[in-house]
Amino acid sequence: MRDRLTIIKVGGNVVEEEASLKSLLKDFSRIAGNKILVHGGGKTANILSEKLGLESKKVDGRRITDAETLKIVTMVYAGLVNKNIVAGLQALGNNAIGLTGADLDLIRAAKRPVGDVDYGFVGDIKAVNYQALNELLASGAIPVVAPITHDGHGQLLNTNADTIASELAVAMCFDYEVQLIFCFEKSGVLMNETDDNSKINEITPVLFEQLKHEGIVSGGMIPKLSDGFAALKRGVGVVVITNPAGISEGLRGTRLVLK
Amino acid sequence: MRDRLTIIKVGGNVVEEEASLKSLLKDFSRIAGNKILVHGGGKTANILSEKLGLESKKVDGRRITDAETLKIVTMVYAGLVNKNIVAGLQALGNNAIGLTGADLDLIRAAKRPVGDVDYGFVGDIKAVNYQALNELLASGAIPVVAPITHDGHGQLLNTNADTIASELAVAMCFDYEVQLIFCFEKSGVLMNETDDNSKINEITPVLFEQLKHEGIVSGGMIPKLSDGFAALKRGVGVVVITNPAGISEGLRGTRLVLK
């Protein structure tokens, strides 16, 4: 039987507010076995951009990354957010190591071709160095991955953290029984976004289409669910969307299922 | 015979201007055998601080780090500068991995006690995890170390990059024949700081005291030389201060010797 690997993507308010981050890291540190944390940091990046007089733009939940924005997200994601998470996990006895896709050539990406929209320095993932991740996990290290990749020619690129989590899950599911958890501030995908009790327990691809059509699922939740379904189709065992409480309480939340 | 390990600290204009960084990384990538790059980034941090309306303060070449400055240096050192170096080295076929002292608990430090000066969130190094560095080097990875450490209780700390390079050199010299190179924009320690031909080829502790007394050595060069001599006394084989050309041309520059 393959070992279990838990990949948790944290974003939204969870990772960027000190109190909720602390609580998340405690829950994360209690997860037994192999684990990887993938994080965002968009809100902090937006605040820094504003302070510096830059505008941040998004289309369909995906950030548009000009040269200045790339600097900002590299600083915030790979620097501030990543290293505070690493130091926080170390304090809890978890041997965390912070990584971007450039480190150990972990995630190689290609700059997204300019189509209807020019996303700028945004990277679409081409290859995951699963051997390097395997070696780190085997040594007892806990990778903490910031959503920055590289093209192998010296260019850093901004890549959606949900997509990174999904691609890592797919790359690792040859060697591990992978469960992929998208963790944010709500209890799951909600029928009514202001009511945390309106959680949908299970979503199939058919229901996903319907929820999109009805506008119940929108914005950043669309690529998150698309990435989740893609991961399931490519061999990932479990995909769940939940909040930190949902992780510590036996993985409650919204489960994605293929049928 | 022990393997050679070259530890290069780069700072000043070398690492923060695109052209000189590119050239440095080419020289660095050609160094055979085990190697570690330690970098600064103070000028970029100062520019960002200024843009954000913060003042940067230094005493004896050591930065004073309040909470906001700690955020800035974490972003700039561990994020922007570190990841651009890593991506640049990966493009040259060097399997770089960017690290701070928090990653893998690599460098544990203690917040400097408040004496005559309150340095703020500045860390004095207490322990280097040489086992983790050994494992990374054995796997063929090339550590790129940003001058950020942690206290093991979740607090990141700002630590002088020269000191980090020296402490890594000392920690590794039980297992390796270590040469420690401080690389900056000048050919070495100069008798006349505006004349790059006035390089001093060799400095002993006695000459160091004299140069300090005469004001020929001042500012950030004082802790650099102090760190270098401390490393020599604790078993590091070679300590040289030079520019990138000095590295590629058979290690020319100013050599520190104990007598």
User: Would the CB atoms of B99 and A97 count as touching at under 8 Å?
Assistant: yes
Percent above pLDDT 90 for chain B:
74
B58 phi and psi angles, rounded to 5 deg: -135, 145
Closest partner CB to B76 (pick from A75, A150, A154): A75
Give the global pTM: 0.95
The DSSP call for residue A113 is: P
Task: For residues A13 and A40, give the distance between their C-alpha atoms in angstroms, rounded to a whole number.
Answer: 10
Question: What confidence tens digit (pLDDT) does each residue in A124-138 have?
Answer: 999 999 999 999 999
Task: For residues B105 and A127, give the distance between their C-alpha atoms in angstroms, rounded to a whole number.
Answer: 28
Confidence at residue B62, expressed as pLDDT on a 0 to 100 scale: 64
Question: What confidence tens digit (pLDDT) does each residue in A148-194 have?
Answer: 999 999 999 999 999 999 999 999 999 999 999 999 888 999 999 88
Contacts of A132 (CB under 8 A, 6+ apart): A104, A105, A106
C-alpha neighbours within 13 Å on the C-beta side of residue B15: 32
Q: b/e string for A33-58 if b means 16 or more Cβ within 10 A?
A: ebbbbbbbbbbbbbebbeeeebebee
Instruction: With CA atoms as reference, report the closest residue to A241 among A191, A209, A196, A202.
Output: A202
Q: How far is CA A216 from the centre of its chain?
A: 22
Tokens for B235? 């078993």
Total domain count, chain B: 1
Question: What confidence tens digit (pLDDT) does each residue in B25-68 have?
Answer: 999 999 999 999 999 888 899 899 999 988 767 777 666 899 99
ipTM over 0.90: yes
C-alpha neighbours within 13 Å on the C-beta side of residue B145: 33
- pLDDT-derived band at B238 (thresholds 50, 70, 90) equals very high
Domain that holds residue B103: 4-256
Task: For residues A204 and B89, give the distance between their C-alpha atoms in angstroms, rounded to a whole number.
Answer: 44
Confidence at residue B63, expressed as pLDDT on a 0 to 100 scale: 64
Residue type, B6: T
Contact present, B15 and B147 (Cβ < 8 Å): no
Confidence at residue A226, expressed as pLDDT on a 0 to 100 scale: 93
- pLDDT-derived band at A63 (thresholds 50, 70, 90) equals low
Instruction: With CA atoms as reference, report the closest residue to B74 among B3, B140, B112, B123.
Output: B123
User: Would the CB atoms of B78 and A79 count as touching at under 8 Å?
Assistant: yes
Closest partner CB to B150 (pick from A90, A95, A103): A90
* Range B234-258 average pLDDT: 91
User: Would the CB atoms of B79 and A76 count as touching at under 8 Å?
Assistant: yes
The DSSP call for residue A189 is: S
For residue B65, give the CATH number of its domain: 3.40.1160.10
Query: Residue A86, SS3?
Result: helix
Question: What confidence tens digit (pLDDT) does each residue in B198-207 have?
Answer: 999 999 999 9
pLDDT at residue A56 tops 70: no
Q: What stretch of H or E contains A181?
A: strand A176-183
Closest-CA distance of chain A to residue B204, Å:
39
Closest-CA distance of chain A to residue B1, Å:
27
Contacts of A6 (CB under 8 A, 6+ apart): A31, A33, A34, A35, A36, A178, A179, A181
Which of B57-61, B123-127, B188-192 is predicted least confidently? B57-61
Tokens for B22? 């590119």
* Range A235-248 average pLDDT: 91
Task: For residues A173 and A169, give the distance between their C-alpha atoms in angstroms, rounded to a whole number.
Answer: 6
What residues pair up with A127 in beta bridges, in sequence order? A108
* Range B154-164 average pLDDT: 96
Q: Token pair 């890593």 is at which residue?
A: B86
Name the residue of chain B whose CA is nearest to A79's CA.
B79
User: Would the CB atoms of B87 and A51 count as touching at under 8 Å?
Assistant: no
